[in-house]
Amino acid sequence: MHEELLPAMAFPSPSITLLKRAAADAHNSHLRTWVQTLPARIQQYLNRWQLEWTGESLTQGYLGYVLPCRRNDGAAAILKLSPDRHGAEEQVTALSAWSGNGAVPLLSESFEENGAALLLGRIIPGVALRPLDDPTGERISRCLRRLAQIQASSIRGRLPSGLERLNSLISANACHLPALSRSLQSHQDGIVALADTVARKQGPPQRVVLLHGDLHAGNLLVD
């Protein structure tokens, strides 16, 4: 099924998770179409940004595609393609604000109706931080403090607050509640309780900062 969905390509394959999601979508859906045109899309951005694939294969994400490249000046870079334009726009806003301080630099960006492409600086050697390397979370905490030095008022564009994201998640999950298992319903109850606590304790903002929404050892690289 995956071979029929994805044309032959000279580059590493997307994640199995992404291929399964695309195959499960209705015929000619957004995600299915994006996956089917991925080989041509990769080559398009290699040409546009004068990049050369290094021949390496990286671990792929659940909803996106990354390719290690070299720029024409020899600098290492990562080509990141995503079918989620909105999510990519939020990444661009955050990366532009951090400007390489605690996060990879944003080198270029391109948005299309059905997706986006980002060109990112690459961390070399980029060794993944394992949870056991940071049992107390101190290294994660140090990185978080660096990222939180950026005031939200200084970012390009607007990102939703933590409370707005929680309320959006609650609303999106609401229609699925009758079909959820007891453990997942309990998880939803926990999200509702967290949102309620945040709303009650949230005072007049004195300093609103930009935070990483998914910071854990698996999302940290040690250079």
Domain extents for the chain?
Answer: 2-128, 162-207
The pLDDT value recorded for residue 1 is: 45
- The pTM score is 0.84
ω before 205 within 30° of 0 (cis)? no
The pLDDT value recorded for residue 88 is: 94
The pLDDT value recorded for residue 28 is: 66
**CATH class of the 2-128 domain in this structure:** alpha beta
CA distance 199 to 61: 33
pLDDT averaged per 10 residues, the chain (length 223): 66 92 81 91 96 93 92 96 93 93 94 93 86 86 91 84 91 85 88 93 81 82 79
Of 113, 46, 40, 44, the residue nearest 77 (C-alpha): 46
Report whether 58 contacts 26 (CB < 8 A): no
The pLDDT value recorded for residue 4 is: 62
The pLDDT value recorded for residue 2 is: 53
The pLDDT value recorded for residue 107 is: 97
